[in-house]
């Protein structure tokens, strides 16, 4: 502005002075000052004060250190609300906890082949304050990289020399789990090398044994049809289908799974936990569908999960009586004693935790299909089928097969798969929280 004023007033001295200021400032800011130099040289043509026009120097970019990258990301997001609470690696999983409710739209997954091997990439909608300092690792996986790619995109990349089998699933509505299946753990065996023998070091690859064993019990079967709903919808059919879907989902996630029955046959109640004990199962889950009295078939509906204990409510007694009907045992003095001895406090606590995780996740998945699914809650009850189990055990009621609307849902494949997936997520959640059980 001062230069323009000087030009308008035809003040040559001020023109020269302001041109010198513009040139000096332009040099410091690395700006193009060619026109100002030419103009100044016109004023100085009668003197020796000619200025050379030098090319603008542009510094070549240098390699940016990781610390500077982290600082740049922090500057970009310093006023941004972080939506991810924590990211940790545990066993063969990466667990992401969010501050807000999340859904499938929050994650994108793709695989790619690179020179060093294979990569499984997860782009997660959200921002994590400690993305750079956090380090992730899983035994048997070459490397896991975590990076805040953009303000609202966190990338977690798994890489190894072989094609990893990585899956993801949601636990409740605020936790996402990335799980690597069948991790190949590499061990190196050093053999003595002498002058006479120069055999190379051998590398042995092996698959570690599966950590958790689950026994699933599809209730009733054969001559025992269980509860009967409208149009002869049998409990035994629904529970077997859900159990088979659940078996498939758990096997894909790396569990060792056994079924008390895999077809329509009758098994005595007292024999159902024998398999679980024989296989040294970590958990036992019995799957059923509920029923209501004729006077309440239109009122009672919803999902419930029970764990073994002396009943504390009339509702628990009623449900237990229905599920215990096919068992011929009576509660004699000796059986009462055996029942009470089976209820050691640590197992009750563990079963209660398992029931909470299964109920919450099953309900979450069911409501993705139908928003009005009723939460029957977690309850206690004296179920004979759970008495013999020497491990944490629960009985799941998938819904009321006697309810005119819920019975139709229970016969739909999509809903059966949603319930099974919810139970699987609940099992994962339980072992993540309680790895020692």
Mean pLDDT of the 3-24 span: 74
Q: Which of 220, 222, 185 has its CA nearest to residue 204?
A: 185
Mean pLDDT of the 275-298 span: 93
* Confidence grade of residue 208 (pLDDT, cut at 50, 70, 90): very low
Give the separation between CA 428 and CA 244, rounded to whole angstroms.
17
**Between 66 and 194, the higher pLDDT residue:** 66
**Domain regions of the chain by residue span:** 2-43, 66-187, 213-433
Mean pLDDT of the 21-47 span: 73
Give the separation between CA 95 and CA 304, rounded to whole angstroms.
27
* Confidence grade of residue 326 (pLDDT, cut at 50, 70, 90): low
Q: Of the spans 51-55, 329-333, 398-402, which averages the highest pLDDT? A: 398-402
Burial category of 137 from C-beta neighbours within 10 Å (exposed 0-12, middle 13-18, buried 19 and up): exposed
**Between 304 and 190, the higher pLDDT residue:** 304
**Residue 347 confidence (pLDDT):** 84
pLDDT for residue 176 is more than 60: yes
* Confidence grade of residue 209 (pLDDT, cut at 50, 70, 90): very low
Mean pLDDT of the 17-41 span: 76
Which tokens hold the place of 280? 């040294």
**Residue 202 confidence (pLDDT):** 39
Q: Which CATH number fits domain 213-433: 3.40.630.40, 3.90.870.10, 3.30.70.940, 3.40.190.10?
A: 3.40.630.40
Q: Residues 349-407: pLDDT tens digits? A: 899 999 999 999 999 999 999 999 999 999 887 777 787 888 999 999 999 999 999 99
Please tell us whether the domain made up of 66-187 is placed in CATH 2.60.120: no
CA distances from 77 to 72, 92, 150 (A): 9, 30, 9
**Residue 51 confidence (pLDDT):** 58
Residues 121 and 108 sit within 8 Å (Cβ to Cβ): no
Give the separation between CA 113 and CA 273, rounded to whole angstroms.
46
Q: Residues 124-135: pLDDT tens digits? A: 999 999 998 899
* Confidence grade of residue 105 (pLDDT, cut at 50, 70, 90): confident
Give the separation between CA 90 and CA 136, rounded to whole angstroms.
9
Give the separation between CA 435 and CA 437, rounded to whole angstroms.
6
């Amino acid at each position: 502005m001062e230069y323009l004023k000087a030009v308008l007033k035809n003040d040559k001295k001020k023109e020269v002075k302001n041109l010198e200021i513009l040139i000096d400032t332009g040099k410091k800011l690395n700006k193009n000052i060619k026109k100002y130099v030419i103009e100044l040289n016109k004023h100085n043509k009668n003197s020796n004060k000619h200025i050379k026009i030098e090319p603008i120097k542009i510094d070549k970019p240098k390699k940016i250190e990781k610390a500077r990258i982290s600082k740049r990301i922090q500057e970009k997001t310093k006023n941004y609300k972080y939506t991810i609470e924590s990211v940790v690696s545990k066993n063969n999983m990466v667990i992401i906890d969010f501050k807000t409710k999340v859904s499938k739209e929050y994650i994108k997954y793709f695989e790619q082949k690179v020179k060093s091997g294979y990569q499984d990439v997860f782009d997660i909608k959200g921002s994590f304050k400690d993305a750079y300092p956090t380090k992730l690792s899983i035994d048997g996986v070459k490397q896991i990289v975590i990076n805040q790619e953009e303000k609202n995109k966190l990338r977690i990349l798994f890489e190894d020399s072989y094609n990893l089998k990585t899956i993801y699933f949601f636990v409740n509505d605020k936790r996402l789990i990335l799980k690597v299946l069948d991790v190949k753990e590499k061990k190196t065996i050093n053999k003595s090398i002498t002058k006479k023998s120069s055999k190379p070091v051998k590398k042995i690859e092996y698959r570690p044994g599966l950590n958790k064993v689950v026994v699933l019990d599809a209730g009733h079967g054969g001559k025992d049809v269980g509860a009967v709903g409208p149009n002869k919808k049998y409990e035994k059919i629904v529970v077997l289908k859900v159990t088979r879907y659940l078996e498939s989902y758990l096997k894909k996630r790396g569990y060792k799974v056994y079924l008390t029955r895999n077809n329509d046959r009758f098994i005595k109640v007292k024999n159902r936990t024998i398999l679980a004990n024989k296989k040294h199962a970590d958990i036992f889950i019995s799957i059923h569908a509920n029923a209501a009295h004729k006077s309440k078939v239109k009122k009672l509906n919803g999902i419930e999960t029970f764990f073994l204990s002396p009943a504390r409510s009339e509702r628990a007694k009623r449900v237990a009586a229905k599920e215990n009907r096919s068992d011929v045992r009576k509660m004699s003095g000796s059986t009462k004693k055996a029942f009470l001895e089976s209820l050691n406090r640590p197992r009750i606590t563990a079963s209660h935790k398992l029931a909470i995780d299964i109920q919450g996740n099953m309900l979450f998945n069911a409501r993705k299909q139908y928003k009005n699914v009723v939460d029957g809650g977690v309850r206690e009850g004296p179920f004979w089928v759970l008495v013999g189990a020497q491990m944490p055990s629960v009985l799941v009621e998938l819904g009321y097969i006697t309810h005119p609307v819920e019975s139709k849902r229970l016969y739909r494949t999509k809903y059966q798969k949603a319930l099974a997936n919810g139970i699987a997520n609940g099992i994962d959640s339980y072992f993540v929280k309680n790895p020692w059980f």
